[in-house]
Structure 1
Amino acid sequence: MVISARALNRATLARQLLLRREPLGAVEALRRVVALQAQQPASPYIALWNRLRDFDPAQLDEALAKRRIVKATLMRLTLHAVLAEDYQGFRAAMEPTLRSSRLGDTRFRASGLTAEDADALLADLLAHTRQPRTSAELGAWFEERLGRPLETGAQRMLRQYAPLWHAPTGGPWAFTHRLSYVTAARRPALGEPAAADEGLRTLILRYLAGFGPASTADMAQFALVQRPRVRAAVKELGDELEQLEGPGGTVLHDLPGAPRPDEDTPAPPRLMAMWDSVLLAHADRARVIPPAYRKHVTRVNGDVLPTLLVDGRVAGVWRATGDGIEAGAFHPLPPHVWQELAAEARSLLALLTARDPRAYARYDHWWAKGMPVAETRLLPGD
């Protein structure tokens, strides 16, 4: 079967609940979309607001507090919100990448510790974090355990490698920049290749459910794992996957029976969260981001700005100001699209006003440096 670029876009948007808002709770929604990038505390909330009808942020608060949804360093070595039940398999899949990148990082090695030293510390560290511990408390624990202070960078690498969840620390978005950590209730078997391989197969199946169809390069990019591991996992999955031909003859894989709407299916405008997963889940990001706009959205330091999604593809950026949502389009938009974006802005502002009216304000410096927009409008609330 051959699938066009536009149909590929619509398939991913359908699985990401971006063709229409669904009447789901936060937990079931995350089951459908698989993972939400969460290094910025507001982003999972805004991501779910984009996807759910009558989204109630208190549902996400509760799911995080009860650890039905957890936040941890996972795919692409970044913070993701995932279902607690998915964490064990996802973390097992990421073990080789996390071990080499975190324990091989120069900040960790400069401390004089080795990977074997980390292994020796791990059991005691996980016992110590059965109750949530702040970064400062962990720093004191490392100093007592090692008999000397441990450099901040090395501590960070150890925290990211260890199977730890971020513990909620308060409003307005359940997490603040005051970090706290707790031992993962569902921990993978670290250092076991068979567990890592099984976890990767699980991750690929979940990834395709949420972001497919996809190539092996897409799968490797989503997780940041080596392509030979992905190819081996796809081969092992065998008949559990079907093969498609994508744009340019690219070999794509998918789950049999997964949603693939007609390419002419309407895609309503959306005001996407910073680092929204749909912008980052593929090696070929042209599925959602026009190549000419990629550098405007993904900045030199890795910040991925909040975007306007128009007809299923990035068309500009937005930010919250004291007066409303400032929307900047990279190309002129027709009046009916601006009307639809204004309706989205009114709904978003209701969410932000109740929680944090200037969400993402710390990233305003990108606008101060100048944005290559063709048209800017202030979209006020009611």
Structure 2
Amino acid sequence: MKITARELNRATLHRQLLLERASLDVAEGVRRVVALQAQQPGSPYVALWNRLAGFDPAGLDAAFTDRTVVKATLMRITLHAVHAEDYPVFREALQPTLYASKLGSRTGLPPAEVLALVPGLLDFTAVPRGTAELRAWLEERVGAEARDGAWWGLKGYAPLHHHPTGGPWSFSDRPSYVAAGSGPLPEGPEGAPEALRRLVVRYLEGFGPASVADLAQFGMLRRGPVRQALRALDGEVERLEGPAGEELFDLVGAERPDGATPAPARLLGMWDSVLLAYADRSRVVPPELRRTVIRVNGDVLPTLLVDGRVAGVWRPADGGIEATAFAELPEPVWDELAEEARSLCALLAGRDPELYGRRYGHWWAKLPTGRVRLLPG
């Protein structure tokens, strides 16, 4: 079966709840979309505001506090917010990636020595611990010279959750860590085939259809194990032919809306998952805009989504949202964006009107010429 570019786009938006805001609670919303990028504390809130009808940020505050939704280093070795029930499986499936990237280099110690610290570290973080406490704990065990390298590896490798520390978006720039408390202890560089199969299914539920390269990109996984996982799911997964003739995979019976399905305008936050979960990002990001919105240092600017594809960028400004479109947009689209901007400003007003502060402002001087409007808040 062949799938067109618009059908692929609409399938993605449907599964990411971007065709229509869903009437779900926060935990179920996070489960449905699988994983939310969470490098910047405000991003999961903007992501859910885009996806859930009547989103109340207090619901996400509560979910982080009671650990129904957890924030941890996972896919692509970056911070993600996921449903607590998904975390152990995702962490186990990503074991080879995390081991290689966090224990295989830069710690200054043999991997076995760092690995031997994990059980004690998890005992110590049975209650939340700040960075200073954790460095002091490590210094007692490995010495001052090796402390920082060991902590660099362990904070990304060990099964730790980020503990809420307050601030407008639950987490501040002074992280606190607590042991995940579920799932097997990581023991070495080997993967867990069953966990990887479950990760593949969850990925396709939230981001499919997708290629082997897309799946590998999502988790920074090797393609060989991904192919093995797909073969093991024979009967649960079907093959499709993508717009350029590429081989795609999807769950049997998964819903894929018609390409003519309308896609409403959205104001996606920084690092929105729908922009990053694929090797081929052209399903949502036009190739000519990829380097504009995904910067060389990994920053991903807040974007305008128009007819299901990136059409520009936005940032908070005095009096509302400053939107920059890189092509002419019809007035009804600007009206849609203005309505979204009013809703977003209401979300930000009680929290942090600047949202990302000075994180990305310098990029605006490097943007191509666009059509700029202030959308009143």
Shorter-chain TM range is over 0.9
Other-structure match for 1:38: 38
Backbone CA RMSD of aligned residues: 1.3
Give the drift of 1:148. Answer: 2.9
1:114-147, Cα deviation, whole Å (9 max, x unpaired): 1110121111111000011111110111111224
How far, CA to CA, are the matches of 2:50 and 2:352 in structure 1?
A: 17
* Counterpart contact for 1:216–1:230, Cα < 8 Å: yes
Equivalent residue letter for 2:30: L
How far, CA to CA, are the matches of 1:280 and 1:364 in structure 2?
A: 18
Are residues 1:14 and 2:8 paired?
A: no
Equivalent residue letter for 2:298: G
Give the drift of 1:191. Answer: 3.3
* Counterpart contact for 1:325–1:378, Cα < 8 Å: yes
Question: Does the residue aligned with 1:314 lie in a helix, a strand or coil?
Answer: strand
Q: 1:193 to 1:142 in 2, by over 3 A?
A: closer
Are residues 1:352 and 2:338 paired?
A: no
Question: Does the residue aligned with 1:85 lie in a helix, a strand or coil?
Answer: coil
Other-structure match for 1:173: 169
Equivalent residue letter for 2:146: L
How far, CA to CA, are the matches of 2:26 and 2:248 in structure 1?
A: 30
Question: Does the residue aligned with 1:116 lie in a helix, a strand or coil?
Answer: helix
Q: Percent identity?
A: 60
Equivalent residue letter for 1:22: A
How far, CA to CA, are the matches of 1:62 and 1:308 in structure 2?
A: 29
Query: Normalising by the residue count of structure 1, what TM-score does the alignment of the two structures yield?
Result: 0.96
Are residues 1:314 and 2:314 paired?
A: no
* Counterpart contact for 1:142–1:149, Cα < 8 Å: no
Are residues 1:206 and 2:188 paired?
A: no
Are residues 1:252 and 2:248 paired?
A: yes
Alignment of 1:279-318 (within 5 A): 279-318=275-314
Other-structure match for 1:90: 90
Q: Which moved more, 1:363-372 or 1:88-97?
A: 363-372
Alignment of 1:121-132 (within 5 A): 121-132=117-128
Other-structure match for 2:181: 185
Q: Which moved more, 1:339-348 or 1:366-375?
A: 366-375
Give the drift of 1:40. Answer: 0.4
Query: Normalising by the residue count of structure 2, what TM-score does the alignment of the two structures yield?
Result: 0.97
Equivalent residue letter for 1:313: R
Are residues 1:365 and 2:356 paired?
A: no
How far, CA to CA, are the matches of 1:54 and 1:259 in structure 2?
A: 24
Equivalent residue letter for 2:71: K
Give the drift of 1:366. Answer: 3.0
Q: 1:114 to 1:325 in 2, by over 3 A?
A: same
Question: Does the residue aligned with 2:345 lie in a helix, a strand or coil?
Answer: helix
How far, CA to CA, are the matches of 2:185 and 2:140 in structure 1?
A: 27
Question: Does the residue aligned with 1:150 lie in a helix, a strand or coil?
Answer: helix
Question: Does the residue aligned with 1:24 lie in a helix, a strand or coil?
Answer: coil
Alignment of 1:225-240 (within 5 A): 225-240=221-236
**Structure 1: stretches of 5+ with no match in the other structure:** none
* Counterpart contact for 2:324–2:372, Cα < 8 Å: yes
How far, CA to CA, are the matches of 2:336 and 2:152 in structure 1?
A: 43
How far, CA to CA, are the matches of 2:3 and 2:99 in structure 1?
A: 37
1:72-113, Cα deviation, whole Å (9 max, x unpaired): 0000010000011101110011000100111122x21xx2x1
How far, CA to CA, are the matches of 1:149 and 1:181 in structure 2?
A: 22
1:145-197, Cα deviation, whole Å (9 max, x unpaired): 22434353441221101110110100200001111100002133423788621
